[in-house]
Amino acid sequence: MPKKKELTKLEIAEKKSKGLVKDDVLRVAKDLKMKKPNDEEVIRILTAYPSAQEDDPTGTWNLVIEDLLYNLKDLMKFDDLYT
């Protein structure tokens, strides 16, 4: 029986993000003419997305991602405190 492949942090974050993937985050950043987020930043945004979407149920997915991108520094600081 083949050994099960270990998921990467990015793959785990994508599974938890309600259907969003890395390319969605990169596309929103590009549309906003922002610096391209690195993988760690993308993982943090995808991980934060579900609760951010719940906090703003009327916001479209790309607006929620936009807000998370603009607040990325604070998001990363917060995550560092609790990880």
Mean of the per-residue pLDDT values for the chain?
88
Find, among 31, 25, 26, the residue nearest to 61 by Cα: 25
Confidence of residue 12 (pLDDT cuts 50, 70, 90): very high
29-57 tens-digit pLDDT: 999 999 999 999 999 999 999 999 999 98
14-23 tens-digit pLDDT: 999 989 999 9
- Quote the pLDDT of residue 72: 86
Q: What are φ and ψ of residue 39, in 5° steps?
A: -60, -40
Quick count: other Cβ atoms within 10 Å of Cβ 64?
Answer: 22
